Structure 1
Amino acid sequence: MDLVSMIADERRRMAELVETLKPSQLYTNSLCEAWTVHEVAAHLCAPWIFGARRIVPAVVRHGFRVHRANAELVRDLATDLTADEIALQLRMNAEFLFNPRVVDPLGQLTDLQVHGQDICRPLGLTRDLVPERMLLSLEFLLGPKARGSFVPRGRLDGLRFLAEDLDWEGGQGLLTVRGRGEAVLLAVTGRPVVLDELTGSGVAALRARLSA
């Protein structure tokens, strides 16, 4: 399956998830900063609704911090779209490819996987991630393209990450962080809720960086 097909499949899976949620679940706080579940879902529609002309200047304005830029845009979008409309948008635009220099297609794939867990974990829902896609996102997050946008500079310095269920490791350093691929993915992208699921000599350093 190519990258565009993977992204399309993740959007369709997200549409199915959103359609199952009750109003009380939609307005539950997600793992993503101050966003509700509804706002996280709406955010995933931003690339084709706002387009590069509005998103890229926001990213630049926020020092290439993609999530901060999106926060500037997403609340109005969540007000405009119901859950059913979000699901419809995700299906209709499943194969949409947003590919400016700042955010490449691997960023979209990663965003969908991480935000799916941002929604499911607070709701006590299980959402299995596809191992092949997790591997692609882990490689992306530990690489240079994600630095300063998905991963703040300095967060991963001196740390080596091992996803034991995926037989994968990445990063450079003497301090190790070990766990399941999903937990590593969420930790690298700044979700401290998974830190207790990780082991290794680098967990304390990562915990301190996420709480700073």
Structure 2
Amino acid sequence: MENPTSRTGRNAELRAWIAAERRELADLLDTLRADQWDRPSLCAGWRVREVAAHMSLGFRLSLPATMGELARARGNLHRMTDRVARRDAAAHSTSELAAFLRDGALHPWTPPIGGFPAALGHDTVHGLDITVALGLDRRVPEDRLRLLLGEIRPSGLRFFGADISGVRLCAEDLDWSYGSGSPVYGAAQDLLLLAFGRRLPGGRLRGEASSRFTTA
């Protein structure tokens, strides 16, 4: 049985990492040009501004407001988050979108399933949706990245629509791999994106099956 003291300490560490991710991304967002906010992200159908708006949704909307939005979307979580992200991206300035993320750095929000590891994954992957799409060389710290790679499960792959059947993801910068089959090589944080159902710009992956996961 896990020691409660150990669990408390682990949660404190995770919350510190989550806060750091949010603050670091907010600082990066403050440096973007106006045209970069309107460029496509890796999150299909969303520009950078929609991703930024979505990232602060969990700590801007109360639970009753969230449930009301979900009811208007007839219970479809994806439809709800898409509509709210588009609405809020249009309603707020880019400086406000960055500030929401910074001001909510210590908010205890987590996704419905997965707790603090899932919250860290949510913030990290959406941050990469922005930085990779814009060609910015932001590296996720190794301790955060290792935890997220260790959280990859078949249930999560299914939820995010990630089809890595028949391939083995092999990190070139960490001692890590996942799956079985034809090897696909890349940076560990790029492979994390594959596990969340993203497709990457060309030239970031190697291996015979790498074209399955690229946009060009």
Q: Fold conserved (TM > 0.5)? A: yes
**Equivalent residue for 2:198?**
191
Higher alpha-carbon Rg: 2
Alpha-carbon separation, structure 1, partners of 2:184 and 2:203 = 11
Cα contact 1:177–1:200 (8 A) shared by 2: yes
> In structure 2, how many angstroms separate the alpha carbons of the residues matched to 1:46 and 1:12?
16
Name whichever of 115-124 and 4-13 sits farther off: 115-124
* Counterpart position of 2:75: 61
Q: Which letter maps to 1:99?
A: T
- Structure 1 residue 132 displacement after superposition: 1.4
Q: Which residue does 2:165 correspond to in 1?
A: 157
Equivalent residue pairs, number: 201
1:109-148 deviation line (CA, Å, top 9, x unaligned): 12222222222233332212111111222222x2145243
Corresponding residue number in structure 2 for 1:85: 96
Q: Do structure 1's residue 40 and structure 2's residue 51 form an aligned pair? A: yes
Q: CA deviation at 1:44?
A: 0.7
1:17 aligns to 2:18 (yes or no) = no
4+ residue segments displaced more than 6 Å: none
Contact 1:52 1:100 in 2 (8 A): no
TM-fit CA distance, 1:83: 1.6
Find the counterpart in structure 2 of residue 122 from structure 1. Answer: 133
Tell me what 1:203 maps to.
210
Q: CA deviation at 1:13?
A: 0.4
How far apart are residue 194 of structure 1 and its match?
A: 4.2
* Change in CA separation of 1:72 and 1:104 when aligned onto 2, cut-off 3 Å: farther
Describe the superposition over 1:65-122 as per-residue Cα deviations: whole angstroms up to 9, x where unpaired: x655521321111122212212222222101122354353222212222222222233
Partner of 1:75 in structure 2? 86
Query: Which residue in 1 is equivalent to 2:175?
Result: 167
In structure 2, C-alpha distance between the alignment counterparts of 1:69 and 1:162, rounded to whole Å: 35
- In 1, distance between residues paired with 2:125 and 2:95? 21
Q: Distance in 2 between matches of 1:145 and 1:98?
A: 21
TM-superposed CA distance for 1:34, in Å, is 1.5
Is residue 2:143 matched to residue 1:143?
A: no
Identify unmatched segments of 5+ residues in structure 1.
none
